[in-house]
Structure 1
């Protein structure tokens, strides 16, 4: 693998709140630009996560149809630190390719 090659790391979360916190860690602790970070449903369903976070409790239209995925391309030397950050904020699963 080339020294400047990037790897995609993905993590899944139960709530949108946890996914947003993961994004903040990527930006503030690892210096990753926010436009380089992607948040989406981990499935084909529209979802806000598998459970409510306090911010969406009153919303009856907030679907809880699956997990939220955060993905970002990072340098290999960032892999362990980013994996640790995802774990610190409650990632259910972390994978890379």
Structure 2
């Protein structure tokens, strides 16, 4: 019998560019639907990450107040592969439950 349970995975990124790359990997490599992936500030501050990835330099409102969180509910059987993919995409911290 296959394990069809789900797990929530969370990854923290220093830049929006790295978070966007991670989302692309989740969609293209792991078949996770885009509406099931969430990107948000890891704190209560509006942020583009802890430092610029150069794509946000032209914006005057692009604050660097903290890390960006990417989260998704995934099949528990994909946990190890998704953890590795997020780490390879530049995550500074990854956790899954």
Aligned twin of 2:37: 37
**Structure 1 residues 1-97: aligned runs within 5 Å:** 3-97=3-97
Determine the C-alpha separation between the residues in 2 that align with 1:27 and 1:96. Answer: 18
**TM-superposition CA deviations, 1:1-39 (whole Å, max 9, x none):** x92210000000000110000000000000010000000
Q: TM-score, normalised by structure 2?
A: 0.95
Q: Please, which runs of 5 or more residues in structure 2 have no aligned partner?
A: none
Q: TM-score, normalised by structure 1?
A: 0.95
> Unaligned 5+ residue runs, structure 1?
none
Runs of 4+ displaced beyond 6 Å: none
Q: CA RMSD in A?
A: 1.1
